[in-house]
Amino acid sequence: MDVPLSWYLVVAAALFCIGLAGALSRRNAIAVLMGVELMLNAVNVNLLAFWRHVEVVKATLSGQAFAIIVITVAAAEAAVGLALAIALYRTRRTVDVEDVDLMKL
């Protein structure tokens, strides 16, 4: 393998941390969702990098199968999350997560 496993792991860690910073620091609910998508992508890069470098020897495909399940969950999460954002905008005319504190004591 030309590209060592550690390169993928470092890039995936950076991607995850950038997504985390975005999810924590953005005010817009849709931007928070975008940060979560970035984090899920980083996880997928990790899964496939480990599959290619460790698991190919055993001739199984669980890394790819896991990544497919993660993509499915990400798609479901994006659909429901964006539906929530649209419903929120329709009723409260805002998508700022700070303005939506109904369940805070």
Partner 1 sequence: MTVSQVVFILLSIAALGGALGVVFARNLFRAALALVLSFVGVAGFYVLLEAEFLAMVQILVYVGAIAILIIFAIMLSRRMMSSETQPWNEQWVGAVVVAAALFAALVFILSRVDWPATEAQVPADSISQLGQALVSPDFYVLPFEVASVLLLVALVGAVIIAREQ
Positions in 54-83 near partner 1 (CB under 8 A):
54, 56-57, 59-62, 64-65, 67-69, 71-80, 82-83
Asked whether position 90 contacts partner 1 by CB under 8 A, the answer is yes
Asked whether position 26 contacts partner 1 by CB under 8 A, the answer is yes
Please count the residues of this chain forming the interface with partner 1, following the rule CB under 8 A.
Answer: 76
Subset of residues 34 to 53 that bind partner 1, contact rule: CB under 8 A? 34-35, 37-38, 41, 44-45, 48-49, 51-53
Cα distances (angstroms) measured from residue 61 to each of 1, 7, 46, 51, 78: 18, 22, 14, 7, 26
Cα distances (angstroms) measured from residue 72 to each of 21, 41, 65, 69, 81: 24, 12, 11, 5, 14
